[in-house]
Structure 1
Amino acid sequence: MKFTLSWLKEHLDTQATVDEVVEAMTMAGLEVEHVENPAAKLAAFSVAKIVEAVQHPNADRLRVCQVDTRDGRKEIVCGAPNARPGLTTIYAPLGAYVPGSGITLEARPVRGVVSNGMLCSASELETAEESDGIMELPDALAVGTSAAEALGLEAVIDFEVTPNRPDWLGVVGIARDLAAAGLGTLKDTSVAPVKGGFPCPVAIRLDAPEACPIFSGRLIRGVKNGPSPAWLQQKLISVGLRPINTLVDITNLISYDRARPLHVYDRAKLVGDVIVARLGAGRDASAPAHTDAPTPAEHRDEQLIALDGKTYDLTSEMSVIADAGGERPVGLGGVMGGESTGCSEETTEVFLESAWFDPIRTAQTGRTTGITSDAQYRFARGVDPGFVVDGLELATRLILDLCGGEASEVVVAGAAPSAPGP
């Protein structure tokens, strides 16, 4: 489990330093494995300002830039479409290792003009998954400011979570324990409900309450999906997650922030108006659960192509989410969603899921399939059953804030168990 000090301070009112947090965590029984300092990785990179950018004499898509850097003025060849005079950006000197491209910079001619360094994109610094051009920073930043300081990069605390403390799989749980240890005061973690604007057109049915005793959901229409904002991407990247799109990134954020896994379906890809939580169609659980080769029809049981692109056999021990009146599997409950209903940048209407899945069954599904997703890891250890609807409300608010749209009323099937299980 990883987190940053600023993320912790969203839930804990404290003036503690990273070292003080690590010491308090150790005293509370948390085994800190590593503190990663991004400033060390990006020590060679600093703020620079483009003074002049002219067309490269031998290439239509390249510019020759005069750049003020902490090493003085440098001539740098740049292919980014946004390279222009006055732009404040990040400079890498000769000899620097660029983590996103895996190269060490050397002085070499680019179509006949020697480039004495590099102007960097966010993806080249590994602070974002994708970039359209070189970084654009506030003009107020002084030339020579370290990249880590300019980008607000922080130390990342990485620690081992013991099996008996699943609450430590969310930053709020860590903040709660540190507050109890006297390191600060826990901030209000309550979640305000979002009033639905229309009845939810999707119903929920529980056919196997022993596997999924509570399932909540709601429809959100009129959303605009796409790359998530920079603050969200950086937050996920800091803990080792790859940004995908805003809808998925929101669910991943809440998983790490509140130890509450969620799933979001593209409503246009769902068949029918009923989501069913049931068990898989039977098969000997000792047989291999996924294969890259087709199986003869006479030996094939129920299968799911998951979001990882693999095909999994669904056994009678597994929690399965299905549409089409319960006939078509669209997810492995508590483990991974299906490829057929995944969200893309074209998604405009989503069904948001927040449920609770039996830990023992989820752990067994992980062993059978070989899937070790963040959701499976958390559900197998025991997720707080009392935060099912609150988790849905929190995700709803973030989706409305970042993607727009209108939310339906919440639908809930079943009831939360009294304890999260072993």
Structure 2
Amino acid sequence: MKFTLSWLKTHLKTDADLATILKTLNAIGLEVEGVENPAEKLAGFKIAQVLTAERHPQADKLQVLSVDHGDGNPLQVVCGAPNARAGLVGVFGVEGAVVPSNGMVLKKTAIRGVESNGMMCSTRELELGDDHDGIIELDAAAPVGQVYADWAGLNDPVIDVSVTPNRQDCMGVRGIARDLAAAGLGTLNAIIVPEIAGVGPGPDVRTDDVDGCPAFFARTVRGVTNGASPDWMAKRLKAIGQKPISALVDITNYIMFDLGRPLHVYDMASLKGGLVARKGKPGEQVLALNGKSYTIDETMTVIADDEAVHDIGGIMGGEHSGAQDGTTDVLIECAYFTPERIAVTGQKLTLTSDARGRFERGVDPAFLDDGLSIATSLVVSLCGGTPSEATRAGTPPATPRTVAYAPDQCLALAGVHVPADEQKRILESLGFGVSGEASRVEYEDGTPVTVPGCWTITVPTWRRDVDGWPDIVEEVVRIVGLDQVPSTPLPRGPGVARPTATPEQMVERRVRRTAAARGLAEAINWSFIAEKEAAAVGGGDWTLANPISEELKVMRPSLLPGLLSATKRNVDRSATSVRLFELGRRYFKQGERATVGFVLAGEKVARGWQAGKAQGFDAFDAKAEVVALLAAAGAPVGNLQNFGEASAAYHPGQSGTLRLGPKAVLAEYGVLHPSLAKQFGLTGTVVAGEIFLDAIPGKRKSGFMRAPYAPPALQAVKRDFAFLVPDMVEADALVRGVKGADKKSIVDVRLFDVFVGPGVEDGFKSLAIEVTLQPGEKSFSQEELEAISAAVVKAAQKLGGSLRG
């Protein structure tokens, strides 16, 4: 729901500034989605006068203008507009201004060899209309040098509010103003409903479908002259994205956005007989205002005459019966359509409109007479003509509803103490009627006794969502402010509560915290991806029959496509280092698979002696993340084996898998394949990985408790070895071989250096490892250390290695 600040102030008398209004809207549950001031993008455009206009020496269709923009120094401007001439007053873009239509920054340039400074603008270039046949022509009295937006009244912020489905009353500017007045931001101006002195009987209208259209009110106005709507109305409609069409059409749109009351105007010359609201007949066709034909059935309500259907009731009018430029006699329809019927019809036809959005929520059934009178008054004042009496067919469901409510229920339900007088003020300012007596204090023998009281709340006809006393509490608390609700812990029952999280959920929590602690930011992506994205990672097993978009059609077989798309969005927004992870599900014919995925791209944040150096990520960075996340998930990382057969999504030779045996793949990682990175628009080295949580073996169930932690009594001993091994020997194979050399004494082996270069013959590499030895009951003797060292060297020799001298 969009509206301008000045529009709001036609209903709300307030001195509050824009920031206060926005803050209050959010506080009372009307979330502000955005604010845009058209004047901001027009700040560099001034009113200017063309002093002279001469033909361009090198181009017949160009002119060289001398333009006065108010600073006393006329500028030379090359212009191709056919209406450019001496004396014309228009809009001039100064050097440095940004043209709204194309984002071009104006600067001094040469056009066909002639210097040009700035630009004289058309309405299309300033996004103020579609005219591009010439530059804007203003009144000769317009003040030269003034900012055009200020002079034209465009300095009017447009506020975009997200209205929840239950707040049908806020689908008009007046409803939003009413809420702000209740919140103490001003006074709601009285709505003026004109009295219409009709001449002659009203039109022939009736309703034969009381379930879909309980009430059908209408009035004719004869002798109208349709034309352009006035500037004030056109500006407000254009500001919220509505294109002005003609006065008759714009009046109905304006009332819909202003008061939340949709209406429709028919050209009486196109009607054959009276109008009736009835159920559709199977196979009936209607050509709607959007230029599309729709097939009607008996579950829909339509407006028809004796020959044809003219309107999909409450959703969209017909193209051939709407008001045209030459229309002279009109019929104004103001009907009430039931929300349920509107919802069913709109869903069947897959047809949306502003009218549907309001009728589907539920418009005010008591506002038919007033809405018709306001519309008639605007038609007569702007287009002339003579109105008839009103015809009122049917009865709107406007019977008042009442709710029994005690002011004490606010504290009991919401935990917020609001004095009864303040509650009454809030409810009455929102349009509720309040009668009865609140709780009171009486004294018996000098002792105060609270006598409970109860109010009878009359619900306004425009609040279809209020059904019981909890809704009344919600209204009070909403206006007081949800930030006033105290945070009160629930009472803890006796004993210790049993854990509610499953072991799988606990694993996911640990992994999520570990990833965040390592500097990765969590991403939450769709579980659906495009077919081409799924094909790039091996293809998906599940394709949706009715996807919300062709780009969200396949259940993801990998988390990488979503993460890579998120990485691209971050890179496009100038992120120099992207570290993202996601914890979610992959989908296969066999079922769902819990998975953790991550992507590292851009510059690595170096630490220690490497700090300050811009470095990229490599496969070892991906492996480090995989090992850390596997450890957090409870995997036996000390027993993992490194294999090189990662999926086709990764770069061959710069990727790998971690397994427990040849078949139990726990994770894959490495540098992303260049073709996959290119497909997602990423450049440079991108590394990634996926940890398959469902493949991690669970803890063994036994009746024994874990042994208490007993740290060793003696300090560990560390020894470093450097081996020359053939190039094809993997470092992981050396580490595992050395670990098995003496399983009793060797508790850890860590690779800390790889060297190839001077001193190492071709075909070999130097691998340096740190071996941790843990003595048992007594310290190692020299002979024992030498024996263990010999066993380590022998293990390396089995792989073709030799101790480096």
TM-score exceeds 0.5: yes
Distance 1:230 1:337 in 2: 25
The residue type equivalent to 1:50 in the other structure is V
Per the alignment, residue 155 of structure 1 pairs with: 157
Per the alignment, residue 306 of structure 1 pairs with: 288
Distance 2:239 2:135 in 1: 20
Shift of 1:237: 1.1
Distance 2:396 2:132 in 1: 43
CA change 1:76–1:11 in 2 (3 A) is same
Per the alignment, residue 146 of structure 1 pairs with: 147
Distance 1:413 1:61 in 2: 63
Distance 1:234 1:62 in 2: 33
- Say if 2:277 is the partner of 1:257: no
CA change 1:386–1:84 in 2 (3 A) is farther
Per the alignment, residue 44 of structure 2 pairs with: 44
- Say if 2:361 is the partner of 1:360: no
Shift of 1:21: 0.8
Q: How many percent identity over aligned positions?
A: 51
Count of residues in Structure 1 that have an aligned counterpart in Structure 2: 399
CA change 1:77–1:219 in 2 (3 A) is farther
Partner-residue secondary structure (3-state), 1:20: helix
Partner-residue secondary structure (3-state), 1:76: strand
Shift of 1:162: 1.0
Shift of 1:33: 0.9
CA change 1:150–1:7 in 2 (3 A) is same
CA change 1:404–1:131 in 2 (3 A) is farther
Distance 2:352 2:292 in 1: 13
Distance 1:21 1:85 in 2: 46
CA change 1:388–1:59 in 2 (3 A) is farther
Partner-residue secondary structure (3-state), 2:144: coil
Shift of 1:220: 1.4
Shift of 1:59: 8.1
Partner-residue secondary structure (3-state), 1:23: helix
CA change 1:378–1:93 in 2 (3 A) is same
- Counterpart contact for 1:11–1:172, Cα < 8 Å: yes
- Counterpart contact for 1:129–1:243, Cα < 8 Å: no
Shift of 1:338: 0.6
Distance 2:128 2:140 in 1: 20
CA change 1:63–1:410 in 2 (3 A) is farther
Partner-residue secondary structure (3-state), 2:219: strand
Per the alignment, residue 298 of structure 2 pairs with: 316
Distance 2:392 2:27 in 1: 40
Per the alignment, residue 5 of structure 2 pairs with: 5
Shift of 1:84: 4.5
Shift of 1:115: 5.0
Deviates more, 1:58-67 or 1:28-37: 58-67
Distance 1:271 1:77 in 2: 57
Shift of 1:9: 0.8
Query: What does residue range 65-104 of structure 1 map to in structure 2 within 5 Å?
Result: 65-69=65-69, 72-78=73-79, 83-93=84-94, 96-100=97-101
CA change 1:54–1:160 in 2 (3 A) is same
Shift of 1:133: 5.1
- Say if 2:206 is the partner of 1:205: yes
- Counterpart contact for 1:306–1:339, Cα < 8 Å: yes
* Superposed CA offset, 1:139-169 (max 9, x none): 5654332232122121111110011111111
Distance 2:360 2:69 in 1: 51
* Superposed CA offset, 1:260-295 (max 9, x none): 1011111111112x101011114xxxxxxxxxxxxx
The residue type equivalent to 1:232 in the other structure is M
Distance 1:169 1:132 in 2: 37
Per the alignment, residue 289 of structure 1 pairs with: none
Distance 2:228 2:43 in 1: 28
Deviates more, 1:366-375 or 1:60-69: 60-69
Mind listing any 5+ residue stretches in structure 1 that lack a counterpart? 283-300
- Say if 2:375 is the partner of 1:374: no
CA change 1:329–1:142 in 2 (3 A) is same
Distance 1:121 1:312 in 2: 39
Shift of 1:192: 1.1
- Say if 2:337 is the partner of 1:337: no
Distance 2:364 2:295 in 1: 28
Partner-residue secondary structure (3-state), 2:366: helix
Shift of 1:87: 3.8
- Say if 2:272 is the partner of 1:271: yes
Deviates more, 1:377-386 or 1:88-97: 88-97
- Say if 2:171 is the partner of 1:169: yes
Per the alignment, residue 762 of structure 2 pairs with: none
The residue type equivalent to 1:333 in the other structure is G
Shift of 1:105: 5.4
Per the alignment, residue 30 of structure 1 pairs with: 30
Shift of 1:78: 4.6
Partner-residue secondary structure (3-state), 1:175: helix
> After the TM superposition, which segments of 4 or more aligned residues of structure 1 sit over 6 Å from their partners?
55-62
* Superposed CA offset, 1:159-215 (max 9, x none): 100111111111111111111111111111131122112333x30011101111111
Distance 1:219 1:131 in 2: 38
Distance 2:55 2:328 in 1: 41
- Say if 2:20 is the partner of 1:20: yes
The residue type equivalent to 2:164 in the other structure is T
- Say if 2:118 is the partner of 1:117: yes
Deviates more, 1:84-93 or 1:245-254: 84-93
Per the alignment, residue 226 of structure 2 pairs with: 225
* Superposed CA offset, 1:392-421 (max 9, x none): 111111112221222122111111112565
Partner-residue secondary structure (3-state), 2:125: coil
Distance 2:291 2:115 in 1: 44
Per the alignment, residue 294 of structure 1 pairs with: none
Shift of 1:81: 6.2
Per the alignment, residue 328 of structure 2 pairs with: 348
Deviates more, 1:350-359 or 1:34-43: 34-43
Mind listing any 5+ residue stretches in structure 2 that lack a counterpart? 399-460, 466-805
The residue type equivalent to 1:175 in the other structure is A
Distance 1:59 1:196 in 2: 63
- Say if 2:180 is the partner of 1:178: yes
Q: Which entry has the higher C-alpha Rg, 1 or 2?
A: 2
- Counterpart contact for 1:128–1:234, Cα < 8 Å: no
Distance 2:221 2:263 in 1: 14
Per the alignment, residue 197 of structure 2 pairs with: 195
- Counterpart contact for 1:129–1:242, Cα < 8 Å: no
Partner-residue secondary structure (3-state), 2:74: strand
Shift of 1:113: 6.3
Partner-residue secondary structure (3-state), 1:217: strand
CA change 1:124–1:210 in 2 (3 A) is same
Shift of 1:52: 2.7
Distance 1:139 1:184 in 2: 40
Per the alignment, residue 297 of structure 1 pairs with: none
* Superposed CA offset, 1:36-81 (max 9, x none): 1222222322221222345667888865432112574223355656
Deviates more, 1:386-395 or 1:91-100: 91-100
* Superposed CA offset, 1:73-100 (max 9, x none): 2233556565444443211245644334
Distance 2:54 2:324 in 1: 38
Distance 1:60 1:363 in 2: 60
Deviates more, 1:336-345 or 1:140-149: 140-149
* Superposed CA offset, 1:316-362 (max 9, x none): 121100012xx411010100001121222122221111111011111
Distance 1:205 1:410 in 2: 12
- Counterpart contact for 1:264–1:352, Cα < 8 Å: yes
Deviates more, 1:339-348 or 1:355-364: 339-348
